[in-house]
Structure 1
Amino acid sequence: MTQIDICECPVSLNSSAALDDWNGVILGLLSHGTQTPVHLGRLMDAEPDFAMGHAARGLFCLMTGRAEVLSAAHDALAAAKTSAAHISITAREQGWIKALELWLNGQPTAAIAAVEEILRALPHDTLSAKLSHGIRFMLGDSAGMRRSVERVLDAHGTDHACYGYLLGCHAFTLEETGEYACAETAGRRGLQYAKDDAWGLHAVAHVCDMTARADDGIALIENNSFAWQGSNNFRYHVWWHKALLHMERGELDIALGLYDAQIRADKTDDYRDISNATSLLMRLELEGMDIGRRWEELADFSENRVEDGCLVFADLHYLLALTGAERGSARDAMTTRFARDAAKTGEVAACVEAPGTAALAGLNAFSEGRYDTAFLNLLAARPLMPTIGGSHAQRDVFERMTIDAGLRAGRYDAADAILRDRLKLRDGHIDRFAATRFEKLNAARGIAAQ
C-alpha cells in the first residue's frame, strides 16, 4: 500500500509502525542523528521488500567513502531491484534505485540528475533534497548545491515538518557561495524550526570562520548544544569548528585540548573523523606547536586506507597522517596508487588526475622540506581543489600549506597573491592566519631588500 511520509511524499509501506520508522530514518538523516540505522534496520526487518529502504541503505553506504562497503551497496542495489520487479513502487522510489546504480557505476553526477528528476515532480521531498545536497557536497559542487535547494524552497512552507532542515541546507550553500550575511540569517532561522539541526548550526559556524568572528562562533556552539550533542559522529566536526575558532583567538592549547577530549575521544577510522583530526594537527604544526605523537594513531588507520581510492578528499587527509608519522612505505604506496588510478576513466579518476596527483606530490614534498617543489605542485593543484569535495574551511588546510610553502621557498609575490585571493574569498575579513602571514611576508621582503 502507499502511505504519505513526513516529507508529504508517497512511500510504499504497509503499516503505520513501518511508516513511523521510515519517518525516523528521514529525520535522522536530516539531523545527523544516531538512530538512523536503528530505524532503517527495524523497518527492513518488518518490510524486507521495501525497495526504497534497500536503495537508501546502499546510498548511505556510498556516502561513507569506504571501499569495503561497496559490496554491501551492490547487494542493496540487487535487493532493491528484486523488490521493484514484483512490487509496484513509486517513481520516487525508482529514482533512488536509479541514483544508487549510477553512483555504483562511477557516475555520481548522473546520480544527482536522477535525484533532481524526483525533485522536479516532488519539490517538497526534503529527503531527496538532502541526498542531492550530500552527493554534491562530496563533489565540491557548491553552486549546484545552492541551485538545488533554491529550486525547492518555495515548496517548503513554514508548516512543512522538515522546513528548518532545508533552511540549514540553504544556509550552508549560501555560505559556500559567499553570501555570508544571508547564510547566517537562514541558519539561525532554521534552528528556530529544527532545534536539532546540526548541519544548519554548523553552517553558521562556517560563517563565523570565514568572517573571522571567533567569539560569535564559540558562543553559537556553546549556546546551541541541543543542535549537536545528540548527533552521530558529526558532533566531532562541530567540535573541530570550535577548535578552529579557538585557534583564531590564538588559544592553541585549548584547540589541542579539544582534539584530545572531543575530536578524537573515539578513535574511529571514518574518513570525516580522520579529516577533522589531520587537518587540525597540521594547522597547529603550521603555527609551530609540537603535537607529540598524535600522528601515530591516525597513521595506523590511514595505512589501511592506502588502496581505498573512493574520494580524493579522504586520500589527501590520510596522506597528512602518513607524512606526519613518517610512514614512508605507505606514502609511497599511495603515490603509486594515485598514478594507477589517474590513468583510469571516470569521474573519480579525473579528480585523481587533476588536482589529486599534483596535490599529493605537493604534500609529500612539503613533508620533506622541499618547499619550492611543494609550492609549485600545490599551486598547480589549487584551481581544481574545490572538486575534491568538502568545504572552504576544510580545504583551507591545503591553502595554508600552499602559502607557507611559498613563504619558505622565497616565492613572496606568488604567496602574496594567494593570500589576497584567500582574503577576497572571506569578503575582506583578515583572520589570524592571514595577519601573521602578511607580517612574515613583509618581514621577509624587508630582509630581501636589504
Structure 2
Amino acid sequence: MFTDICTSEVSLTNPKALSEWNGVVLGVLAHGQSAPVHLGRLLELEPGFAMGHALKGLSALMLARREMVPVAKEASATAQAALAAGAPTARERLWCAALQDWLDGVPSSAIERMEAALRLNRADTISMKLSHGIRFILGDAAGMRSSVEAVLPAHGPDHPLRGYVLGCLAFAMEETGAYDAAEKLGLEGLAYAPDDAWGLHAVAHVYDMTHRTANGIALIDSNHAAWDHCNNFRFHVWWHKALLHLDEGDVSTVLALYDDKIRSDKTDDYRDFSNASSLLVRLELEGIDIGDRWAELADLAETRSADGCLTFADLHYMLALTGDKREDAAARLTARIAQDARGATEAARVMSEPGVAVSQGLSAFSDGRYKAAFAHLHSVHPRFSAMGGSHAQRDVFERVTIEAGLRAGALSATRALLEKRIAQRKGAVDAFAETRLNKIDEAWSLRASVAAE
C-alpha cells in the first residue's frame, strides 16, 4: 500500500506504478497530453488497479460519444472484477461506484461518490477535480464552488497540488459571479502551478465577462506555458482569445485564429466542435461573411447528431446544421432530441428542458421565423445553465435569443434579457450588448415617430 501525491492511500504494490499514477493525476489536473500515456503504463504494470479502470471509464463518458459507452462499460466490468480480486481502499470503491452510477444514467450520484471520497481525505485533489468536472458538465456552478471551498483548507502552501485547487476555485468563483476573487485566485494558482490551463482559462473568463479584452489577450499571450502542453483544451484557450478579439472588433484576427488554431485539427470532439460552431454563429450575428466554413462542421454534425449523450453537444451540432441550412438533418436532430427527452435519465430531463425548445428555436431562427424562435428560446432561457458548460459557452444561445427577439420586434422583452446579461457581468457592456441596445433605442424612436405622424 502506497500513498499518492494527493496524500491518499492506493492499493498499488509497484513503486513504478505509483509513479505512473502520480503522472496520471498531474496530467488530469493540468489537462495535459500525458495523462492517457501514464494511465496506459499504469494498467500495464498493475492491471488489477480498479481505480485506474474506473478513471478510464469516467474519462470515456466525459467524451459524450455513443461509441465510448461500451468502452466505459468494459472498464466498469474490469474495475468490479479487480475490486473483488484485490484489496481496494474505500476511495477506490467509491470511484468504481461513481462510474457505475453514471452508466446507470445518474451522474449526480457519481458526484456524490466523489464527494464521499473527499470526506475521507480533503487533500484528495484528483477526486475534487473529477467532482468539479462532472459538475461542470451538469452546469452546477454553485456545487463546484462549495466543493472546492470545502477542500481548500487541506491544500495549504505545502500541498504539491495547491495551484490546481486554486485554479478550480477561481473558475467556480467566476461562474458564480465573484469576479474579483476569481481573478486573484486564478493568478495566485498560476504562481503555484504554471502549467494550470484551467486556472489560466478561469481568469480569461473573468476578463471576458467584465469586458476587459486587452487584459485577457495579454494574459493568454504571456502564459503559453500554462496551455501549450495541453490536450485539445489548448483549442479552447485559442477560442477564448478569439472571443476577446471579436469583442474588440478585430475580425481578421478572429478568422485567422479560427483557421490556424481553433480548427487546425478537424476533430469531431464535441468540445472542439462547440468552440468552432459557437464562434461562427457569433461572427454571423455581427454580419460577418464566414465563407464556406460551415460545411466542414455540418458534415461532422450529421455523423455525430445521433449520439444523444449530452444536450450541450447536440445543441452545438444543431448550430452547424442550421448554419449550413441543412433543414432535413436539423429536423432529424430535433426529432431525436424530442424522442430522447421522453426517457427517465438525468440526461433525458435536460433534453426535455431546455434541449427541445432550444433546438426548435434554432431551427426557427435559421428559417427566418424570428417570432417563433424567440418564443421557443425565451421560454427556456432560465434553464440554459442546465445544458452545462460555462457562461461564456452558453452565451451563444443567449445571443441568438436576444437577436431573435430584436428581429421579432419584442423590444421590451429583449431589452430585459440584455439588462439581465449586463447585470450578470456586473454592469459591463460588451460590444454585442452595446450594438443591440442601440438597435432597440433606434426601433423605439422609429415607432414613436410613426405614431406621431
TM range (shorter): over 0.9
Determine whether 1:160 maps to 2:159.
yes
Match of 2:38 in 1: 39
Aligned to 2:198: 199
The one-character-per-residue Cα deviations of 1:261-287 (angstroms, maximum 9, x if unpaired) are: 100000000000000000000000000
In the alignment, the residues of structure 1 paired with residue 115 and residue 228 of structure 2 have an alpha-carbon distance, to the nearest angstrom, of 32
- Return the alpha-carbon distance in structure 1 between the equivalents of residues 344 and 94 of structure 2: 25
Aligned to 2:298: 299
Which residue number corresponds to residue 279 of structure 1?
A: 278
TM-score, L = length of structure 2: 0.98
> Counterpart in 2 of 1:112?
111
Match of residue 50 from structure 1? 49
Structure 1 counterpart of 2:330, one-letter code: R
Q: Amino acid of the residue matched to residue 87 of structure 1?
A: G
1:320 alignment partner in structure 2: 319
Q: Does 1:29 align with 2:22?
A: no
Amino acid at match of 1:263: I
Q: Distance in 2 between matches of 1:398 and 1:335?
A: 16
Amino acid at match of 1:106: G
Aligned equivalent of 2:80: 81
Deviation string 1:323-371 (CA, Å, 9 cap, x unpaired) is 1112222211111111211111111111111111111110010111100
Correspondence for 1:219: 218
Three-state SS of the structure 2 residue aligned to 1:101 is helix
Q: Which amino acid aligns with 1:145?
A: M
Return the offset for 1:57.
Answer: 0.2
Aligned pair 1:392/2:391, yes or no? Answer: yes
User: Is contact 2:14-2:46 (8 Å) kept?
Assistant: no
Structure 2 counterpart of 1:210, one-letter code: M
Partner residue in 2 for 1:420? 419
Offset, 1:252? 1.4
Deviation at 1:221, TM superposition (A): 0.2
Report the equivalent of 1:179.
Answer: 178
Amino acid at match of 1:232: N
Once the 2 structures are TM-superposed, how far is the Cα of residue 393 of structure 1 from its aligned partner?
Answer: 0.4
Query: What is the distance in 2 between the residues matched to 1:16 and 1:215?
Result: 47
Residue 237 of structure 2: SS of its match in structure 1?
A: helix
Structure 2: 5+ residue stretches without partners: none
Secondary structure of 1:290's partner? coil
1:82-125 CA distance string (max 9 Å, x none): 01001110001000000000000000011101110110111100
CA distance in 2, matches of 1:8, 1:119: 12
Percentage identity across aligned positions?
57
Aligned 1:362-381 pairs, distance under 5 A: 362-381=361-380
Q: Which amino acid aligns with 1:300?
A: D
Moved over 3 A (4+): none
Query: Cα deviations across residues 160-205 of structure 1 (Å, max 9, x unaligned)?
Result: 1110000000000000000000000000000000000000000000
Give TM-score, length-normalised by structure 1.
0.99
Q: CA separation in 1, counterparts of 2:400 and 2:313?
A: 17
* CA positional deviation for 1:12: 1.1
1-structure distance, mates of 2:304, 2:25:
30
Q: Distance in 2 between matches of 1:371 and 1:43?
A: 54
AA aligned to 1:207 is V
2:239 maps to 1:230: no
RMSD: 0.6
Q: For the residues of structure 2 that align with 1:342 and 1:17, how far apart are their CA atoms?
A: 47
Shift in Å at residue 306 of structure 1?
1.6
1:146-157 alignment to 2 at 5 Å? 146-157=145-156
Query: Matched residue of 2:380: which SS?
Result: helix
State how far apart, in whole Å, the 2-side matches of 1:344 and 1:267 are: 32
Unaligned runs of 5+ in 1: none
Count of residues paired in the alignment: 449
The alpha carbon displacement at 1:214 in A equals 0.3
Show the counterpart of 1:308: 307
Identify the residue that residue 89 of structure 2 maps to in structure 1: 90
Q: Match of 1:440? A: 439
SS in 1 for 2:304: coil
Offset at residue 145 of structure 1 (A): 0.4
